[in-house]
Structure 1
Amino acid sequence: MFDDLVDATTGTRGAGALSTWARVENAACAHRVATMAAMLDETYALSGSADRDQWCLDNLDAVAAHIGAAQNITPGAASHQLLIAVALHDRFPRVAAVFAEGLITYALVKTVVHRGALVIDPDALRALDALLAEAFGNWELRSVDKTEKAIDVFVHQVDPHAVRRSETKARGRSVEVHIEEDGSGMATVLATLFAHDAKAFEARLRNLAKTVCPADPRTADQLRADAVGAIGTDRMACLCGNDDCAAAQNPPATGVVVYVIASDETLADPTATPESEPPAPRPETPAPPPEAPEADAPPISEESAERAAIDGEEPPLFDKPLRDLTLTEALTPAPGYFAKLRPAAMMGGQFLPGAVACRAAVGATITRVVHPGQTPPEMRYRPSKKLADFIRCRDMTCRFPGCRIPANQTDIDHTIPWPHGPTAASNLKCVCRRHHLLKTFWGGENGWQDTQLDDGTVIWTAPDGREFVTTPGSRLLFPELSAPTAAITPTGGPTPHTAGLTMPRRKTTRAQDHARRVERERELNELENELGADDVHAGPGDGEFLVGGDDEHGRARRLEGDPSG
């Protein structure tokens, strides 16, 4: 079928080709999703898979890690794709067939899986699958909201208690932080709060903005934005630059740690006098003659101008009126800043322009990272702080393919296990706890294996024999951190990779947790259908609900577990 779709694109052009290739794309996505479900089936077919369902890193996690490495995506994205694949394969085979023909998109498939998640009766599920597959034969374009409502109509036909309820706005309150990937060093914060908390938050921002002196160059909006960043402290750092500023005498302090990697020249103060240069001798006559002309102010360096370019009002686009410009001048804007200072990066790999890195260094503790060079191994299991700091700054993230967990949230792993492998930079790397467990308990001769080179490159070999190469995250911005370190020499015989270790276990399996959540939401739906949505609210406990006043005193009744109680 897929080959027929590809053949149908031959000789097409324009809108016809676009439509045909869109269908091919959908069909290819269906094959990719089906492959994920097949990978999980193969894992379940292996000996001992039933026991591994209660492992902390269970069968689904292991397959998701392989999927993430193969597609170079994060573990969260891989797990989500695998869950969609399994639900489509096991619960909606007819919809999967329509998907394989390229008639529907992956986005629509995700909506079907989500909106139909509460249908548990096999007959009702088969009926829903048939209704949706038939409807998708002539499906019209709809918005996301209308698509969900249309699918909910089919769900209600087969099982009224399985319709997903929309969360109230209060229950959906959240704070989301999105770090921009465009290299600007900026982030967007989206928050939905209670109105009274928002008022208090606004007042807090105003009070923080007032802790700087009037000479601070930032605009009101910039001060409010920086106040959000300083919300964990009791004041903001003043940027006026005056030596006698009272606001600058009390720098901010916080228990929150944010790791930023920057070079010495980025953080160097261009106005500071080098330590090797002796101070100028004080003249015997401190005051110049009255008739001496006033000295010119020292020129501002480009680096200093770049540091100041992120504050204050926007500079004019042109240095003379528009009517005096030639066409060439009008179409050639003045060169911007962010060019001279060497860029930095946050632990995790997010790019920071040099000027933003300088701002992050205000009031920060600066620790020098030392490249170990050809230093011999340390004679202990845990690396010293100096060596650990280097490993984290070199790697910046978890070194498993596709994983982006910041290095400061990872374990430092011996590639060749200790004590057979030494504690040296060429044998150490950052691995998050999830992938550390994967290597330890899903490794061995037929599992995940890793090899590390002396420049920090790690070569991972998957259970199917494919290799995935990851390089240190600092290699692009700080190549000096990837300079080769001392080669290692394993000692003694190899130690079994699980010697003396036990995989942490779940109290219940993933399937049991899912079934309990579905049953709880179905019970809540049933109560809402019987009593009215305004009278039922989810309680604090599992399987617990609060029901609006139905007794003679108008008091709330509490139902635990049994909705008929």
Structure 2
Amino acid sequence: MFDDLVDATTGTRGAGALSSWARVENAACAHRVATMAAMLDEAHAASGSADRDQWCLDNLDAVAAHIGAAQNITPGTASHQLLVAVALHDRFPRVAVVFAEGLITYALVKTVVHRGALVVDPDALRALDGLLGEAFGDWEPRSVDKTEKAIDFFVHQVDPQAVRRDETKARGRSVDVRIEEDGSGMATILATLFAHDAKAFEARLRNLAKTVCPADPRTADQLRADAIGAIGTDRLACLCGNDDCAAAQNPPATGVVVYVIASDETLAEPTETSDSEPPAPRPESPAPVPQTPAGDDAEESDASDQAAGDGLDPAPESAKTPPRRETRPAASAPHDERAAIDGEEPPLFDKPLRDLTLAEALTPAPGYFAKLRPGALMGGQFLPGAIACRATVGATITRIVHPGQAPPENRYRPSKKLADFVRCRDMTCRFPGCRVPATNCDVEHTIPWPHGPTAASNLKCVCRRHHLLKTFWGGENGWRERQLDDGTVIWTAPDGREFVTTPGSRLLFPELSRPTATVRTTGRPEAHAAGLTMPRRTTTRARDHADRIQRERKLNADVGLEFPE
């Protein structure tokens, strides 16, 4: 069937080709989903799989890890795709056939799986599958809301108590923090909260914004934004740069930190430089890590925050409002870059609009070359140099030392100095596709201790999920890995395919990936799980899922749900 769809695209062009290839794309996605379900079936058919269903990292988790590595996606995304695949092929075979023909999209399949999740009676489920399969044959385009209502109508026909009720706005309150992936070093926070809490939060922001002196260069909106970042403290750090400023003498401090990696040259005090001077060469010394007041993915630190440096130099007037249109691109001095993130937006043009020609108005202003070397969050997110400098305000600075060819440590648990280096080198979990920040990972031995040394070339960051995967789903027929002297890790999956992950710092801080001492093993390493026991669930995943469905169905029965006409 799939080959026939591909053949049908031959000789097509324009809208005809677009329609044909869209159908091929849907059919290919159906094959991918079917493969995921088949992988889980193979895991359940393996010897001892029934006992592993109560493992903390069960059969589904192990298959999801393989799916995530194969597609280079996060474990959460892989698990969600696998659950959709299983539900589709176990519960909606008629819909799966329509999907394989390329007539519906993966987005619609996900909606079917979600809206029909509460149907448990086999006869009702078969009826629903038949109704949907027949309807999708001539399914016209619908909005998301109309699609859900149409599917809910079919669900109501076969089982009224299985219609999923929308949560009220109060139950749907949440906070979503999204770190932008465009290299801007910014994040977006979307929050839905109680109205009275919103009023109190707004007042809190106003009060925090007033803790700086009038000479602070930031606008009111910038102060309110920075106040959100300082919500865990009692004041904002003043950036006026005046030596006699009382607000600047008492920087904020908190026990909650987030780790930022930056180089020495980025954090150096700004000095006046001319555009003709060549940029200073990058030092060979590893990068220090400023630890700044943080948000959700921060961890507790025993060290108290300290002021980093003497504050930022006040920007000259020309730096606060730099001209946007020049005859040639200008290279900004480091102190200009630090000041450019505060204050009013510079004018778009250097003369009134009425004096501009059409060509001048349509010609974009030349950019500025950044001289400050960028930094990064521990999770690998890019930070422009000016924002990395801002992170040092009120922060503790810890120097990271590259171990070079130093001999291994004669202990199981690495020293803080060695562990800090490994975390800064790796930045995230080293399993393929995993983005868990290194601060939330275990620093574990690639070759198990004591046969493998406690050295940088034998240590890597792995989150607890993938640490358990390697330990209990490893061995000759499971996940295996080997590590190179520069921190590269080569994973071998149960099917023999290899996946290579490199240290997260290699792009921005290549000096951290310089080779360390070669690993020398002693004796024959034991099996990964020798003497260890996998943590177990109190109930299986399937039992938990069935209990959640029964609770939601009972709620529908108690309130006497009626489907709207």
Aligned partner of 2:120 in structure 1 is 120
TM-score (normalizing by structure 2): 0.88
Distance (Å, rounded) in 1 between the aligned partners of 2:362 and 2:472: 61
Paired residue type of 1:229 = G
> Would you say 1:225 and 2:256 are equivalent positions?
no
Alignment of 1:256-335 (within 5 A): 256-271=256-271, 302-325=333-356, 329-335=360-366
Q: CA deviation at 1:325?
A: 4.4
SS in 1 for 2:397: coil
Q: CA deviation at 1:318?
A: 2.5
Aligned partner of 1:370 in structure 2 is 401
Q: CA deviation at 1:253?
A: 0.7
Contact 1:318 1:333 in 2 (8 A): no
Alignment of 1:318-397 (within 5 A): 318-325=349-356, 329-337=360-368, 339-397=370-428
Contact 1:124 1:159 in 2 (8 A): yes
Q: CA deviation at 1:78?
A: 0.1
Distance (Å, rounded) in 1 between the aligned partners of 2:247 and 2:386: 22
Alignment of 1:209-224 (within 5 A): 209-224=209-224
> Would you say 1:438 and 2:469 are equivalent positions?
yes
Contact 2:72 2:432 in 1 (8 A): yes
Q: CA deviation at 1:496?
A: 1.9
Alignment of 1:351-500 (within 5 A): 351-500=382-531
Distance (Å, rounded) in 2 between the aligned partners of 1:519 and 1:449: 40
Of the three residues 554, 560, 563, the one matched with 1:523 is 554
Distance (Å, rounded) in 2 between the aligned partners of 1:517 and 1:298: 62
SS in 2 for 1:175: strand
Paired residue type of 2:96 = A
SS in 2 for 1:526: helix
Aligned partner of 1:549 in structure 2 is none
Q: CA deviation at 1:320?
A: 2.7
SS in 2 for 1:34: helix
SS in 2 for 1:366: strand
Distance (Å, rounded) in 2 between the aligned partners of 1:515 and 1:320: 69
Aligned partner of 2:307 in structure 1 is none
Q: CA deviation at 1:340?
A: 1.2
The Cα offsets for residues 298-321 of structure 1, whole Å up to 9 and x where unpaired, read as 997711111111111001122233
Distance (Å, rounded) in 1 between the aligned partners of 2:358 and 2:409: 66
Distance (Å, rounded) in 1 between the aligned partners of 2:252 and 2:363: 42
Contact 2:54 2:538 in 1 (8 A): yes
Distance (Å, rounded) in 2 between the aligned partners of 1:272 and 1:16: 62
Q: CA deviation at 1:488?
A: 1.1
Paired residue type of 2:178 = H
Unmatched segments (≥5 aa) in structure 1? 274-296, 534-565
SS in 2 for 1:132: helix
After superposition, the Cα gap between the structure-2 partners of 1:108 and 1:487, relative to the gap in structure 1 and judged at 3 Å, is same
Paired residue type of 1:224 = R
The Cα offsets for residues 50-74 of structure 1, whole Å up to 9 and x where unpaired, read as 0000000000000000000000000
Contact 1:338 1:355 in 2 (8 A): no
Measured on the aligned residues, the alpha-carbon RMSD in Å equals 1.7
SS in 2 for 1:198: helix
The Cα offsets for residues 222-269 of structure 1, whole Å up to 9 and x where unpaired, read as 100000111001000001111111111110011211100001111111
Q: Which moved more, 1:317-326 or 1:387-396?
A: 317-326
Distance (Å, rounded) in 2 between the aligned partners of 1:206 and 1:486: 54
Contact 2:271 2:334 in 1 (8 A): no
Q: CA deviation at 1:362?
A: 0.8
Aligned partner of 2:111 in structure 1 is 111
SS in 2 for 1:191: strand
Distance (Å, rounded) in 2 between the aligned partners of 1:37 and 1:401: 21
Aligned partner of 2:45 in structure 1 is 45
Distance (Å, rounded) in 2 between the aligned partners of 1:256 and 1:502: 33
SS in 2 for 1:367: strand
The Cα offsets for residues 423-482 of structure 1, whole Å up to 9 and x where unpaired, read as 000000000000000000000000000000000000000000000000000000011110
Aligned partner of 1:286 in structure 2 is none
Provide the aligned length of Structure 1 versus Structure 2. Answer: 509
Contact 1:306 1:337 in 2 (8 A): no
SS in 1 for 2:256: coil
Aligned partner of 2:305 in structure 1 is none
Q: Which moved more, 1:321-330 or 1:113-122?
A: 321-330
Aligned partner of 1:71 in structure 2 is 71
Unmatched segments (≥5 aa) in structure 2? 274-315, 320-331
SS in 1 for 2:460: strand
> Would you say 1:177 and 2:208 are equivalent positions?
no
User: Rg: which structure is higher?
Assistant: 1
